[in-house]
Amino acid sequence: MSRLPAWLGSVGGGLTRMGERLGERRAEAERRAEQDKLTTPDASGASAAAAPVKPPKPDPVAAVPWGVRVAAEASWRLLVLAGTVWVLMRIISAIQLVVLAFVAALLITALLQPTVARLTRLGLPRGLATTLTAVLGFVIMGLVGWFVVWQVMENLDNLSAQIQDGIDELRRWLLNSPFHVTEDQINDIAKSLREAVGANTEEITSAGLEGVTVIMETLTGMLLAMFSTLFLLYDGPRIWQWTLKLVPAAARPGIAGAGPRAWQTLTAYVRGTVIVAFIDALFIGLGIYFLGVPMAVPLAVFIFLFSFIPLVGAVASGALAVVVALVTQGVFTGVMTLVVVLAVQQIEGHILQPFILGRAVRVHPLAVILSVAAGGMIAGIGGAVVAVPLVAVTNTVVGYLRSYGHETAPHPPGPHGATALEVAPVGAPVDTAPADRVTDPGATPPPGTAPVTGTTGPADTPADPSPGKPPPGSEPG
């Protein structure tokens, strides 16, 4: 009987330990169940350990190669620029007359403005100096045009007879020339010309009616150019100041510095072109006068006017003089006129152009030819005239803005946009500061840079004490 309580005590202790282990297992099972509920969103209670672990998908921005992203960003920016240029060209085409009149006024102002500045320095009021210069310039232009028309009308009858005699002489020369041209071939050519004129009579008549419209548009453009020239000569500095106010404040210092330089380039181009055109017209006119070519003075005036179209104008005016000499004075005079024209143009191309225009207008001949062709296709003769000065001014402005940007930038700019951070190459500088950041007045400026006070803007730029005002003698008007 004494061993029974001891046995019962060992059995009870074993049951107690078993109950504790069962309690621990139950608690462990409940803890695992809670963890499964937290890690497995599926309501069916599937084990998370049984599901395969999928690797995270890469960021789409980082998945695109760096070169593709750069090409894409450059492409859409180019598309935006192309769209802007297209819209501007459509607007210019719609108001082509106004644009050409204003550009002509700019060219005339560039020619007359030094005279206004000189008279103003002598003590004349600006209004009186502008009036005298404009009236004198327009009177000289009008007299030149009237003289050309008068000479043509006075010599028209005599010129017609000389042309007929010249054609007969050219016909005889072709018959006796080594080209073996026969009488039937010449008659066939003349017959074809007569039939072409007869078949296109309606088109010629409509062209005559369109010519009346062109004359009216020309007169309107001349009036617009005259009024624009007057205002540019008298109020040019204030017009320039008002134009600067339309430019964003961040870009205003650069534009304020590029404007006077562009005006200096335009003024130098107009002066140089006038000098070169006058020399061409003078020497070619003297040559054809001593050769006995009729209407030598009107032809010289045409050569002067056509010289404002670089390369193409000189060839066209020289060809006109050669044709008039050929049909009026014969083959020998035509050949001698061609020699005179070629000699003067060679002197112009190799001596006058580099010496007079070389420093002011640095434009490659290929750019000149392409710009003249594009200007002629877009706006005819007027576009061909203004194409080269426009390219020269654009070249000056772009060059100045590039140098200005290098001077004002504290460090080379890093990549911007969506390609800047995630997918930039290792070691590439990334500029993450906003363009319009405000500089702390108490901060120490980096080495080599000037201290900045307040926000960046035209008032804080110490490079030019008066960036909005062009230097004397270079303002537009």
pLDDT at 79: 93
**Placement of tokens 């940007």 in the chain:** 405
Residue 321 covered by a domain: yes
Which residues are CB-neighbours of 93 under 8 A, at least 6 positions away?
Answer: 378
**Pairwise CA distance, residues 227 & 383, whole Å:** 21
pLDDT at 147: 80
Lowest mean pLDDT among 314-328, 349-363, 386-400: 349-363
Residue 147 covered by a domain: no
pLDDT at residue 364 greater than cutoff 50 = yes
Residue 89 covered by a domain: no
**Pairwise CA distance, residues 308 & 289, whole Å:** 22
**Pairwise CA distance, residues 163 & 329, whole Å:** 9
Mean pLDDT of 71-85: 91
Residue 403 covered by a domain: yes
Neighbours of 415 (CB within 10 A): 19
**Pairwise CA distance, residues 378 & 86, whole Å:** 12
Residue 271 covered by a domain: yes
| Helix 365-408 vs helix 312-329: crossing angle, to nearest 10 | 160
Among 374, 394, 377, 375, smallest CA distance to 385 is for 375
How many structural domains is the chain composed of?
Answer: 1
Residue 315 covered by a domain: yes
Residue 138 tokens, joined: 């327009």
Which residues are CB-neighbours of 344 under 8 A, at least 6 positions away?
Answer: 280, 283, 284, 287
Residue 372 covered by a domain: yes
pLDDT at 80: 93
pLDDT at 462: 41
pLDDT digits (tens, 9 = 90+) for 130-160: 889 988 988 888 888 788 778 777 776 666 6
Say what the alpha-carbon torsion angle 414, 420, 423, 429 is, to the nearest 10 degrees: 30
pLDDT digits (tens, 9 = 90+) for 439-464: 444 444 444 444 444 434 433 444 44
pLDDT at 455: 39
pLDDT at 52: 60
Task: Show the domain range for 330.
Answer: 248-408
Residue 359 tokens, joined: 């420093």
Residue 328 covered by a domain: yes
Mean pLDDT of 217-244: 88
Question: In the chain, what is the straight-line distance between the N-terminal and C-terminal CA atoms, in Å?
Answer: 135
pLDDT digits (tens, 9 = 90+) for 8-46: 667 667 777 777 777 787 778 777 777 766 665 554 444
* Mean pLDDT, the chain, integer: 74
**Pairwise CA distance, residues 435 & 417, whole Å:** 13
C-alpha torsion sign, points 277, 282, 286, 292? positive
Residue count of the chain: 477
pLDDT at 463: 42
